[in-house]
Amino acid sequence: MRRTKTSLRTCLGCGLEADKRELVRIVRGPDGDVFVDPTSKKSGRGAYVCPKEACFEAAVRKNRLGHALRAVVKEEDIERLRIEFEQIAGSDARFGSGR
């Protein structure tokens, strides 16, 4: 049998290396909009964060999110991302409770 390669990604907040399906993907789309991608399939430049609020906040505080997405992430985008992130990490069965 052929083994499939595990796609590892690094969390921007804590630096944990994990399978990309265990992380939340944040995307800068082709039009420049930044949003949380619950399917992890949208086109655009992606960045990954653990499904923990502390990791998301660390990524924002250290400006790793803007650096990884190669974009300036505005304050209103961060607030919107925070809400989207909490909804995805809190409700998605892959992430358990998200905290």
Each residue's pLDDT tens digit, 12-42: 999 999 999 999 999 999 999 999 999 999 9
Distance (Å, whole) CA 24 – CA 42: 13
Tokens describing residue 43: 């086109």
- Encode pLDDT of 61-98 as tens digits: 999 999 999 999 999 999 999 999 999 888 776 676 54
What domains are defined for the chain?
8-94 (3.30.1230.10)
CA dihedral of residues 59, 62, 66, 69 (deg, nearest 10): -50
Prediction pTM value: 0.87
| Radius of gyration over every alpha carbon of the chain, rounded to an integer in angstroms | 13
